[in-house]
Structure 1
Amino acid sequence: MGAKRVWSTAGVVALTGALLLTSAPTASADYVRDQQWVLDVFSMQDTWAESQGEGVTVAVVDSGVDATHPDLSGQVLKGKDFTGGGNAHEDTFGHGTGMASLIAARGHSAKNASGMIGLAPKAQILPLRTLQNKDDKNLDETWGAAVRYAVDQGAKVINLSFSSDGGSKTLSDGRQAIAYAQEHDVVVVAAAGNSGAVAVDEPAALPGVVSVGAVDKEGNRWEGSNTGKGLTLTAPGVEILAANKNRSPEYGLSTGTSGATAYVSATAALVRAKYPDLTAGQVINRLIKSASFLGHKGLKAPDDEYGYGIIRPYKAVTMDIPKGPKEGPLGKLQLAGASAQAGSAAGDDDSSTRAKKKSSSSSRLFLIGGIAAVVVIGGIIFAVVRSRGNRGNGGPGPGGPNGGTPPQGMGGYPNQPQYPTAQQSYPTAPPGSAPQHPNPYAQRPPHQGQ
């Protein structure tokens, strides 16, 4: 299968996303919400009736999270800065804020009907800052310390929207941190890489880590997404709207496996909230068994390009799926003579972390796409609006009507074991919705590799 037909999450920051604009005859009350095509194809109103991620903390190991963004108000915990240069609520890059918003944004104004909303709007975000700028190297010992800290702070899901630089291997600091998280029943989700390579980057490729590739609105893989054995799941990652206080009016559209990873982390939070008795491995089991190849016929799971399929949040929280073994289908990272259980004091020693930087390999964040692709429209209504009737995606609040004042512009492993997935129809959009794009996500998913 071709190397260049999936979403990307390369170690080098990828400023390759494009903000695509199309004219529309009318403007909706909240075009930011309109841009979130994922809410329609995932039938999130129905999903939120089952779970909104309540009581679950998701750690975002990234560039920090701006807690002042109106759509993230009240969602962001104190967190910790591991760069020695500020605090976890400072995000000069904007990447971490975007990831947090895809996971747990809850909108703003009356009934939270304006702005964007994440897939798990009642989850909380633990921001862990491991780099400051887009050109910074995300060192193994730095993000490893952050992962350990996340575990010790009670995070149940850890989002790693980055991959190794140039396909390099994860060093002992990172590997031990991943093992530490797995031993403490935490779901670790990481991006497969944005280079279009026929190999999943680390740390996503490590055993037990949920590695994520990206697909577009039609359910087809994105060209830049890394493929190969060890790919676990795919999720939307093309033309994804996310919060970004560095843009005007604080949103951007982008493409990449970073966003896809955040969506999988959010879905894991939904499952953990709905089924708090499940182990991390059993949560992963539900994600895998509820995934679908949609219209892609003749594929067998795990597929090198789609893994076990495209996530389906509604099915992940509603399907009748046996718990399965506690360790789950992906197993765990085994370290020879290792100290995965060793305390996380290193996670609190920022000076020690900085002292190691010269000898470590690095990882870099992959931009959720082209945060660089930005369009600012002064007082003119955004042309990108999809004209819809009653979309039913106004948010998790009662009724969820769209409303509010629109902003003034818009920015832009080792081999996994065979694990059968279930053949279930993908949920259609909420009643009364009229998505602009054909919805392949509503097709019956044939050939699930059983």
Structure 2
Amino acid sequence: MALTGALLLTSAPIASADQVRDAQWPLTVYSAEKVWKTSQGAGVTVAVVDSGVDAAHPDLTGQVLPGKDFTGAGTPHRDTEGHGTAMASLIAGHGHGANNSAGVMGLAPKAKILPVRVDLAGSKFVTASLASGIRYAVDQGASVINLSLGDDNSYPGSKAAKAVAYAEAHDVVVVAATGNDAGTVSYPAALPGVVAVTAVDQGLKFWSSSNTGNVTVAAPGVEVAQADPTTKSGYAVADGTSGSSAYVSAIVALLRSKYPDLTAGQIINRLVKSASFLNNTGKKAPDKELGYGIARPGSALTMDIPKGPKEGPLAQASSSTSTQSGSASGNESPSQAAKKDKSSSSGILLIAGIAAAVIVLGIVFAVIRSRRNRGSGGPGSGPGGGMPAHGTGYPPQPPAGYQQYPNTPPNQGYATPPGQSPQYPNPYAQQPPHQGQ
């Protein structure tokens, strides 16, 4: 289970900015130079709800908007953890030096970053600041929100869950990391409508520490070079679904820039339809580890994909925002349990009345079944069959109207076959313990 307020990443320093670009294997795998000919994320604001973003980092100068600090520390441009800056760099870093050849290049280098600093220690205050931060991001015009964090108090019905539903109702794509403890998808990634992201390594294989269950897509998250203002060099190499979430947020920014008329749901539709299991043989969507596959920016931008319904392929939060869950974890708040007990007591009082109506209902059922058998050809065969509740293990196949695309070869968004991307020394002589997650 995710620890409250945990940042979903473990990291180690990297020697210098000159080594960083060669270490950015996701850019090679994603054929970034080719992708940028189609979209670079211009005109899109991505909110990084995190530990703050160091706006003075050389790879982020000019990319970071004023933002807001919900911790009481005073400024969203201060990042004592380094985590928010790292995520911002993967999304919208522009490098530095001659021809910007040094440092981190983000996958959407012309997107803007809205830093939203939230409290990542404690309990109730974490969720309160997270909820306020999400709502602020929506009201400031962010069309993508990246949540590379875990908060067990963000269960359905919580303030944070209602804030996520608020974002979805305002046409914002919310992307979140699933967690790094090999458990079930943590909140807020487990909430309905959220794009839940797991990690893959350089061989495009599932990272075994990723949390699983209700997964939407996967993205690079192992040995990822990124900015880190807390290290001497200003950089680190890290493992975690945090980085995977940031890369998917960047892909969403590329899509929102190229397809400004698509709804958030239709953007997610493109993301899901263009994903592929690539060389992960034997997988079938939806998979509890990779969801609908590895997200691919080149394919997402260029494939011929029908718009689909405005709501998109993911289950949505109910109007009350307090019922459906996006994970298989079965997490439940004490207040929800109390409500369940109360409803059970009320149900006992109804048994007598229900029994008296059994005969009448039996007759009605027989008539209805007869009519159904003559109509749509059996249960579930109608064109609007819809999608089961989001808490049934992991997302089912998209509803009617979402054509499943076959897994396509790696050359759509992946120029280099696995194993041929630039290699660099593993910064870990031994894997460090999970820091919170």
Please state which band the TM-score falls in when normalised by the shorter chain.
0.7 to 0.9
Contact 1:19 1:239 in 2 (8 A): no
In structure 2, the CA distance between the partners of 1:28 and 1:43, relative to structure 1 (3 Å rule), is farther
Structure 1 alignment gaps of length 5 or more: 1-7, 22-26, 339-358, 361-412, 439-450
> C-alpha separation between the residues in 2 aligned to 1:51 and 1:416?
29
- The code of the aligned residue for 1:157 comes to V
SS of structure 1 residue aligned to 2:107: coil
Deviating more after overlay: 105-114 vs 65-74: 105-114
Task: Output the TM-score relative to the length of structure 2.
Answer: 0.74
> Is 2:222 the partner of 1:222?
no
- % identical aligned pairs: 55
5 Å-filtered alignment, 1:1-400, equals: 11=4, 13=6, 17=10, 19=12, 30-131=18-119, 135-137=121-123, 139-165=126-152, 169-197=155-183, 199-228=184-213, 230-336=214-320
In structure 2, the CA distance between the partners of 1:178 and 1:109, relative to structure 1 (3 Å rule), is same
Q: Deviation string for 1:334-377 (max 9, x for gaps)? A: 14288xxxxxxxxxxxxxxxxxxxx99xxxxxxxxxxxxxxxxx
Contact 2:7 2:83 in 1 (8 A): no
In the TM superposition, what is the alpha-carbon distance from 1:86 to its structure 2 partner? 1.4
> C-alpha separation between the residues in 2 aligned to 1:9 and 1:100?
22
- The code of the aligned residue for 1:227 comes to T
In the TM superposition, what is the alpha-carbon distance from 1:303 to its structure 2 partner? 0.3
Q: Deviation string for 1:405-449 (max 9, x for gaps)? A: xxxxxxxx4242303244322234389xx73359xxxxxxxxxxx
Q: Deviation string for 1:102-144 (max 9, x for gaps)? A: 100001122212211000000000000002xx64557222111
In structure 2, the CA distance between the partners of 1:28 and 1:261, relative to structure 1 (3 Å rule), is closer
SS of structure 1 residue aligned to 2:159: helix
Which has the larger helix fraction?
Answer: 2
> C-alpha separation between the residues in 2 aligned to 1:271 and 1:293?
20
Contact 1:60 1:96 in 2 (8 A): yes
> C-alpha separation between the residues in 2 aligned to 1:94 and 1:28?
16
> C-alpha separation between the residues in 2 aligned to 1:318 and 1:330?
22
Q: Which protein has greater RCO, CA pairs closer than 8 Å, 6+ apart?
A: 1
In structure 2, the CA distance between the partners of 1:95 and 1:81, relative to structure 1 (3 Å rule), is same
In structure 2, the CA distance between the partners of 1:9 and 1:40, relative to structure 1 (3 Å rule), is farther
Q: Deviation string for 1:147-174 (max 9, x for gaps)? A: 1111111000000001124x87355211
Larger Rg: 2
> C-alpha separation between the residues in 2 aligned to 1:331 and 1:168?
17
Contact 2:278 2:408 in 1 (8 A): no
The ranges of structure 1 where at least 4 consecutive aligned residues each deviate by more than 3 angstroms after the TM superposition are 8-21, 134-138, 428-431
- The code of the aligned residue for 1:214 comes to A
> C-alpha separation between the residues in 1 aligned to 2:9 and 2:252?
28
> C-alpha separation between the residues in 1 aligned to 2:150 and 2:292?
20
Q: Deviation string for 1:207-244 (max 9, x for gaps)? A: 1100011111111111210011x111111110011101
- The code of the aligned residue for 2:131 comes to G
In the TM superposition, what is the alpha-carbon distance from 1:246 to its structure 2 partner? 1.1
> Is 2:391 the partner of 1:416?
no
Contact 1:238 1:254 in 2 (8 A): yes
Q: Deviation string for 1:13-70 (max 9, x for gaps)? A: 479846499xxxxx99932100101111110000000000000000000000000000
Structure 2 alignment gaps of length 5 or more: 323-333, 336-389, 399-403, 425-437
In structure 2, the CA distance between the partners of 1:314 and 1:9, relative to structure 1 (3 Å rule), is farther
In structure 2, the CA distance between the partners of 1:169 and 1:66, relative to structure 1 (3 Å rule), is same
Contact 2:161 2:321 in 1 (8 A): no
Equivalenced residue count is 348
SS of structure 2 residue aligned to 1:70: coil
Q: What residue is the counterpart of 2:367 in the other structure? A: none
Task: Output the TM-score relative to the length of structure 1.
Answer: 0.72
> C-alpha separation between the residues in 1 aligned to 2:199 and 2:3?
12
- The code of the aligned residue for 1:47 comes to V
> C-alpha separation between the residues in 2 aligned to 1:15 and 1:142?
18
